[in-house]
Amino acid sequence: MLSGDGGSGVDGIETVPPAPDVSDPVLAGLVEAVESAVAELAGQASVSWSNADRRAVIQRMETVSRSVTAYSHTWLNELIAQHGLDVYPGSVPCSVAWMLRITPRTAGARVRLAAELGDRTALSGEMLPPLLPRTAAAVRAGLLDAQHVQMIREFFRHLPATVDPQTRDRAEQQLVGLASTRRPDDFAPLVAHLDSILDPDGDFDENED
Tens digits of per-residue pLDDT, 79-102? Answer: 999 999 999 989 999 999 999 999
| pLDDT number for residue 89 | 86
Q: Where are the domains of the chain?
A: 54-132, 144-209
CA nearest 188: which of 200, 175, 199, 169?
Answer: 175
CA distance 151 to 187: 9
Helix axes 165-179, 133-140, angle to 10 degrees: 20
Higher pLDDT, 107 or 2: 107
The pTM (predicted TM-score) of the whole model is 0.86
- The answer to whether residue 141 scores a pLDDT higher than 90 is yes
Q: What percent of the chain has pLDDT over 90?
A: 81
